[in-house]
Structure 1
Amino acid sequence: MISNFKAIEYNIKKSTIMSLLKNKTLCFISFMVMATAGWSQTTPPATPTICTTPPAGYLPGGAMSVAPPISCVALGGSTLTNVTITNKNDPNRNVFVDNPIFYFDIDNNFNIATATNGVVGVANSVSKQLNIGYHWILMKGEKNGNKYLSCILQENLLTSIPTVTATSCGGNTVTVTIPNAAENQYNRYTIDWGNGTTDIINTSSTVLPQERKKTYSGTPNAIKIQGSYIRNNSPICPSNFVQISPDSDKNTLLHTLEGENNGKEVKLQFAGGVTGAIYDVMAAVDNGSALSNWTKLADGINGVANITGLDPNNKYCFKLRSKNSCGLDVFSLNTLCTVNLQTSVKSSSSVDMKWNLPTEPNSIPTRLNLVKDVEGCTNCLNNIPFSSPITTVYADASLDCSKKYLYQVLYRYANVTFEGTAWPINIRSAQITVDLKSNLTPVKPEYLVSVGFDPNDDTRVRVNIVTDANTSIQNKYTFFRAENDSQVFEKLGERNANVFDDVAISAEIKSYCYKYQIEDKCGVVSELSDPFCTIMLNSKSQGTLNWSPYLIPPDIYTSASPVDYSLEYFDEGFNSFIPLKTTEKLEQSVQDLLDGSVQSQIKFRVMGRQYVDTDLFTNQFINSYSNPFVLQVPPGLFAPSAFTPDGKGPDDSESFKIMGKFVASGSFKIFDRWGATIFEADNLAESWNGTEKNGVKPAPPGTYAYTIQAVSDNGVSFRKTGSVLLLR
């Protein structure tokens, strides 16, 4: 039997195998095996004794059908065939058994009395997946108090590709040899010489190996061969016609190169090799110039070659060498060169990597991936793609120093068509292990930091280190602060999170600058970071606001947009900040807002904002709020320049009455032309009706001086003087 048929490497190019895989996976032949006549190289097993001589208590009888009786299984697909057995009426005994039970792969050791692997039929039928080879199937059942059994044979044939060699040493005669190889199980081989003639070899009468020759009048034509099985004197399960070339043209294709053992070994895979044939693996050190000094380093067999003893600091190129039947060197169609991945631990959370673009193939790769994994982790594999396939550097800065990381570079090149099949060309570097604890060097942290007054609580400054979520919970952070232009940074405190709220804020207008230090899980303490400062908002002249620039240290980002500033004021009616002006300048006049204000003071703040690109983030929005700054709105006093107390109205012209804006309290006095006080009031709500000091006699018309003493809503005392014309 060939139930355990093993797939092998073939002399015919692997490209041919792959082309077959694109065709049908299974093809079924719709007739039953009825006799053993015509079997050739593969002999069916003898009929089990139980099938011809039923044990006591059983009668021969019952019948079944099998679909398919013979299955053609294409190489490369599943080797299992779904076979359906159906209980049928036995026309010879007119018996259709009840309660059928089916047993598969029975032989002379089968004991129906003790067998426990029977499959009960459902609706008189059962399906089972059977492997390559022969399968005797037994069915037992009952009818009218009698027990019956019957047997049937089913076969699954592997449609493989014949192993064939062809030789021609420069002449017009081609010799085709079919060796006695394990994969050559066909009963018939048909050679199409390409000139209208064919040779048929029946292995039932002529055992392998077999040799056939053809002499052409000119250049030999394309030669093809097909294998087929013979069942019941008919050909079945034929292979595709496969084109073969004489040794003078026959070649191999390297399609996969993979570095192993940290670059000390290389595994090559190739197509087109003859099964069992040994190929020389030729190697040359790749120094970037013309390849020379090729040396045999290993043997390749059955499509695989393993090269050991390499210097991991060197780059190598490889090709295959073989001899044709004429004794001439035949080299592989292509050369493949290694990619060497080098790593440099920069800190306990980051590693830099660089690698070379392989010298061969001498073309641009179609795809580049960096495979990242974690030692001992079952679901940490990460395939990092690159938009540019010629990238040769990468920095990984979000690592956990308690873990060991595994990296490997993968290049894929355009498919190479070889014997009708498109083969992808793959080159992989050796997998490199990175242990971050091997180089615990303190470095200056370069994370982006958001520093600014809390927009919802302007009595504190929030410092937020912008990291990825995984990094933020792995470290301990120490925060430092300096005020105004001081370069002395004093420690504020430590946190296990990347956010610090500074509540020790002075009521005075100050600028605050912050630095931070990181201690990672491995206990490595970084250097102090660059400073990050708040925006300081103040006023250098009446009605104008000024602020310090919002600056991010240039080492933190790779690119940044211009900073723009949004000036906001607090509206007591809405109980919120309202945007007033957006500008890129560092000052802004607010006099118009002060002049029209209905508030005695206005609180302002500035938000600086920009977009930056860092190693971790692209187009990251970052902003900072300044300290709040309050501008006092000057109080206003409004006194009439003249009035006429004649009782004719209007009311506001009948007396001297002072109106105030943002004035809490006040008093005023009226003086005659000699400086004598003729009227005074302790409340600005009072008014002078134009009488003399006794309050009865009308004062003569003329100009009278006044002084006003007042206190603003903000508690500021001020004085105003002037004169008013009394008209009669």
Structure 2
Amino acid sequence: MSRIRFILLGLLVICITTLSFGQPSKCTNPGGGISLGGTFNVTPQQACLDYTSSSSTISVSGAVGNTGGALTNLGYIFDFKEGDDIVFPTTSQTTWTVSSPGVYWILQGGNENSIAYVTCKAVEIIQTEAPDFTISQCGATSITVKFLDTPKNRKHGKYRIVWGDGDQSFSAQVTVWPHEMAHTYAAAPASPPQIEALYTRGSTNFVACTSTSPVFLNGFNSEPRISELEGLSGGTSSKITMVDGLAGSDYIIEQKPKNGSWVDTGKKINRANSSTSANETITGLDGTKEYCFRLKTVDACNNVSTSNEVCTIVPKATIVSSKIAKLNWNSPDPNVTRYAINYSESPSGANPNTGAPNTPTETSYTFDALDCTKKYNFGLTAYLGTTPADRVLIKSPFVLVDPATTPKFEPKVIATVSVSSPTLISFNVFEPNAREAKYIFYRSEGGSTNFTKVKETTENFYNDQNVEPEKQQYCYKVEYQDQCGNSSEPSPVFCSVFLTSNQPNTLNWTPFVIPSPNTSPVEYYVEIVDENGNTQSVDLTTDITLGVKAQIDNILNNPNALGKAKFMIKAVQRVPLNVNGSIISWPFTCNSNIYTFITPAQIYVPVAFSPNDDGNNDTFSAKGRFIVTYNLEIYDRWGNVIFESNDIDTGWNGTGTDGVTPAPPGNYGFKIFGLDPAGQKFEKVGSITLVR
């Protein structure tokens, strides 16, 4: 058969053991004619489990009968419990692996001299654990280790501390908790102590197991340090992460409003030996205010020490336009080495990304890809320190940006109004990125403050063709909307540069204004315009008036001059723009209307002439400049017209109406009339003497 039931074979025995607590009853009174007797060895009798081992192997050996003889039908039952049957396998198992702590019973059975015997022994599996303790330091050379009153520690009997300077200490059997062990070094310790818990057994308190000394992961004999400060719940909470410091020691968390006074938060932070860090969350903060935090401790000598001071970041988001959101914040520390911006779509968290300002000291960030149908979460991280030993992260709470619920967008502040022709003005709105969904343009005339809507369009410019820019000034405003219908504030007023003359030989014009901040003074280029529309710059000024007599005279002295001197103003305003991360002074240009100085027709006539074919003063003709149309009439004494000409180069040769018969000498009347370059009529009436 595969199993031998000792009850049937009469092989039952009763256990004899050094441990009685929890012993199964069949180990002391097996019954059924089975006797107690025999013995065997268990190795080890106490086994230890620690963080390096998950199991322990138990061995049995040296089995003998009740009278010391050998046993037949020898077998063992491991982990024998109350209520178990005494059933042995056909093969004798002599080892057993245990992975959980506790007291286990082993039953041995066998026959000696045809009598069945059983006996039991116990084995204890002890799970060792590093003790719970705190370390306090008094000055640089004295430390006290306090073993706390915890269930874990109450399993320990004694403690051993290797102080790290060649000395070690053993405690007596601990019966009162908490228990303290102190040591004074000759100099500040260079390494942490090794602290072991001893598991004692028996009346002699022999050491059955020893715990592995806890590893001080960092910060023994060093000041605590806040390594991370994270804003939560819109800034109403702050999570503080501590590293370094004495493991197991309580550190008081203090806070203050930035530039305020320190107060105790009532919370403490404590880093366990098994952890490199610890954290605690401070609640009840005002999310609109900045706070600073530090850790404080008082050692056994009442010496106060504090950690580094770390302050929160409170970012503020502004929707500048339908495409642009701007994040601004105050620097939490002058030693910030860089910032990073984290953002994603909310609440899905889609499309996460990270951007960074251009320089470590810049405290603003512009996001230029808003979609008004989506919401966004923006967070900011500041980095302090350059090595892991001094690095600090400060994380702001997330800021929700919802373009669809924003108040009116900021207005456009960069635009130009330029005269393109005598009947056309172009109003152009500067867009550094994509155009808005819709623009609404408004216009006023002649300096009026009454603006009328003139056009709605998807284009960022308006070509106004219903204008007379040489007669008056035109001003414009613009509003815009995104695709969700959110509107902007009206822009400032942008006006054409209106060029005129308030006194002879002087140009006057209205200023060119771009209300964007940090603009430079406007440069006005005074340009001459020829009859073909070509321009030539003749002067540069930052004023809005200029005397141009010399320029006019120079034009009129040209033999081909038509009595007109045309001028135009080209205004240049430089505006600082961020182009690919660099600030560039970008020139914006507009043209004024053309203003024309017109010189009246100039006519010169002789008082007499002698048509005798001597080649000298043989005809009566006028000389002049700036004449567009010309007419000459000669009258006899009775007022009859005897000669006409509409060519200034064709004069009267002193003949009668037939153009052949010489007219008698004497006085004749004349009339010269026509138009000058301005279309003005001119007329000159007088008399001429014909000499024969």
Would you say same fold, with TM above 0.5?
yes
- Match 2:401 to one of 434, 455, 462: 434
- Match 1:592 to one of 540, 547, 553: 553
After the TM superposition, which of the residue ranges 263-272 and 675-684 deviates more from structure 2? 675-684
- The alignment partner of 1:464 has SS state of strand
Offset from partner CA, 1:137-191 (integer Å, 9 cap, x none):
xxxxxxxxxxxxxxxxxxxxxxxxxxxx999877979999xxxxxxxxxxxxx99
Q: Contact 2:418/2:591 (CA < 8 Å) preserved in 1? A: yes
Offset from partner CA, 1:271-320 (integer Å, 9 cap, x none):
4367xx44535323313433132422554442333323612416554445
Offset from partner CA, 1:27-50 (integer Å, 9 cap, x none):
xxxxxxxxxxxxxx999xxxxxxx
Number of matched pairs: 497
Q: Contact 1:401/1:436 (CA < 8 Å) preserved in 2? A: yes
Q: Distance in 1 between matches of 2:591 and 2:184?
A: 92
Q: Distance in 1 between matches of 2:465 and 2:344?
A: 41
- Match 1:479 to one of 432, 435, 441: 441
2:228 matches 1:256:
yes
- The alignment partner of 2:423 has SS state of strand
Q: Contact 1:450/1:464 (CA < 8 Å) preserved in 2? A: yes
Q: Contact 1:710/1:719 (CA < 8 Å) preserved in 2? A: yes
2:455 matches 1:493:
yes
Q: Distance in 1 between matches of 2:504 and 2:597?
A: 9
1:305 alignment partner in structure 2:
278
Q: CA deviation at 1:378?
A: 3.3
Q: Distance in 2 between matches of 1:410 and 1:713?
A: 72
Q: Distance in 1 between matches of 2:571 and 2:219?
A: 77
2:364 matches 1:402:
no
- Match 2:390 to one of 401, 417, 423: 423
Q: Which has the higher contact order (CA 8 A, sep 6+)?
A: 1
Q: Distance in 2 between matches of 1:414 and 1:330?
A: 25
Structure-2 change in CA distance of 1:170 and 1:495 (3 Å) = closer
Q: CA deviation at 1:513?
A: 1.5
Offset from partner CA, 1:83-104 (integer Å, 9 cap, x none):
xxxxxxxxxxxxxxxxxxxxxx
Q: Distance in 1 between matches of 2:297 and 2:641?
A: 130
Q: Contact 2:620/2:652 (CA < 8 Å) preserved in 1? A: yes
Equivalences for 1:329-478 in 2 at 5 Å? Answer: 333-343=307-317, 355=329, 357-358=331-332, 364-367=334-337, 369=339, 371-375=341-345, 376-378=349-351, 380-385=353-358, 388=361, 399-414=370-385, 422-438=389-405, 440-442=406-408, 445-454=411-420, 457-470=421-434, 472=435, 474-478=436-440
Q: CA deviation at 1:255?
A: 2.9
Q: Contact 2:338/2:383 (CA < 8 Å) preserved in 1? A: yes
Q: Percent identity?
A: 26
Structure-2 change in CA distance of 1:278 and 1:349 (3 Å) = farther
Q: Contact 1:264/1:308 (CA < 8 Å) preserved in 2? A: no
After the TM superposition, which of the residue ranges 397-406 and 494-503 deviates more from structure 2? 397-406
Q: CA deviation at 1:380?
A: 4.2
Q: Distance in 2 between matches of 1:313 and 1:503?
A: 56
1:293 alignment partner in structure 2:
264
- The alignment partner of 1:286 has SS state of strand
Structure-2 change in CA distance of 1:342 and 1:610 (3 Å) = closer
Q: Contact 1:348/1:437 (CA < 8 Å) preserved in 2? A: no
1:548 alignment partner in structure 2:
510
Q: Contact 1:557/1:615 (CA < 8 Å) preserved in 2? A: no
| Counterpart AA for 2:644 | A
Structure-2 change in CA distance of 1:397 and 1:643 (3 Å) = same
Q: Can you give the 5+ residue segments of structure 2 that lack an aligned partner in the other structure? A: 1-50, 54-133, 146-161, 169-181, 194-214
Structure-2 change in CA distance of 1:395 and 1:665 (3 Å) = closer
| Counterpart AA for 1:488 | N
1:581 alignment partner in structure 2:
539
Equivalences for 1:54-69 in 2 at 5 Å? Answer: none
- Match 1:523 to one of 485, 498, 513: 485
Structure-2 change in CA distance of 1:255 and 1:486 (3 Å) = same
Q: Distance in 2 between matches of 1:167 and 1:537?
A: 85
Structure-2 change in CA distance of 1:596 and 1:224 (3 Å) = same
Which has the larger Rg? 2
Offset from partner CA, 1:602-627 (integer Å, 9 cap, x none):
54432223224589986342332223
Q: Distance in 1 between matches of 2:604 and 2:234?
A: 90
Structure-2 change in CA distance of 1:502 and 1:719 (3 Å) = same
1:157 alignment partner in structure 2:
none
| Counterpart AA for 1:289 | G
1:68 alignment partner in structure 2:
none
Q: Contact 2:631/2:672 (CA < 8 Å) preserved in 1? A: yes
Q: CA deviation at 1:547?
A: 3.0
2:495 alignment partner in structure 1:
533
2:177 alignment partner in structure 1:
none
2:207 alignment partner in structure 1:
none
Q: CA deviation at 1:544?
A: 4.7
Q: Contact 2:239/2:282 (CA < 8 Å) preserved in 1? A: no
Structure-2 change in CA distance of 1:341 and 1:307 (3 Å) = farther
| Counterpart AA for 2:343 | D
Q: Distance in 1 between matches of 2:408 and 2:396?
A: 30
1:207 alignment partner in structure 2:
none
Q: Distance in 2 between matches of 1:414 and 1:679?
A: 106
Q: Contact 1:558/1:614 (CA < 8 Å) preserved in 2? A: no
After the TM superposition, which of the residue ranges 559-568 and 689-698 deviates more from structure 2? 689-698
Equivalences for 1:163-242 in 2 at 5 Å? Answer: 219=187, 222=190
2:587 alignment partner in structure 1:
621
Equivalences for 1:674-693 in 2 at 5 Å? Answer: 680-684=643-647, 685-689=649-653
1:568 alignment partner in structure 2:
527
Q: CA deviation at 1:223?
A: 6.0
Q: CA deviation at 1:638?
A: 3.9
| Counterpart AA for 1:404 | K
